Amino acid sequence: MVVWRVGMVGVPPRGTPDPAILDWCEKHAFILVTNNRASMPPHLTDHLAQGRHIPGILVLNDKMSVNETLEELLLIWVASTESEYADKLLYLPLR
């Protein structure tokens, strides 16, 4: 599993607008894991309406502990195919 965080070298800096983050994820084939429940869904809709694609978006659940979140993400990584979440926005937990 490879994990990048916004603000790391080679990744968009903190404060980057959502559409630019979606562009980066599409270009680099990374699933986005975010806590942005408000603006990310409409930005994904716009992104897809432009004929663009994204490997997927997983939205964190603030009621899950850090341990539960990590376990969920590891399960997704181990048990999923590369394109399973393409162009989808899903909320954790998936079960």
Residue 34, beta-bridge partner list: 59
**Structural domain harbouring 60:** 21-91
Q: How many domains does the chain have?
A: 1
Q: Has residue 41 been placed in a domain?
A: yes
What's the pLDDT score for residue 35?
Answer: 94
Domain membership flag for residue 3:
no
**Residue reference for tokens 């408000």:** 38
Residue for token digits 């716009």? 46
Q: Is residue 1 included in any domain, yes or no?
A: no
> pLDDT by residue (tens digit) across 49-90?
999 999 999 999 999 999 999 999 999 999 999 899 999 999
The model carries a pTM of 0.91
Q: Is residue 5 part of a domain?
A: no
Burial 33-55 (b: 16+ CB within 10 A, else e): bbeeeeebeebbeebeeeeeebb
Please indicate, yes or no, if residue 2 is contained in any of the structural domains.
no
Q: What is the pLDDT of residues 24-37, one digit of tens each?
A: 999 999 999 999 99
26 lies in some domain = yes
Residue 12 is assigned to a structural domain of this protein? no
Q: Does 59 reside within a domain?
A: yes
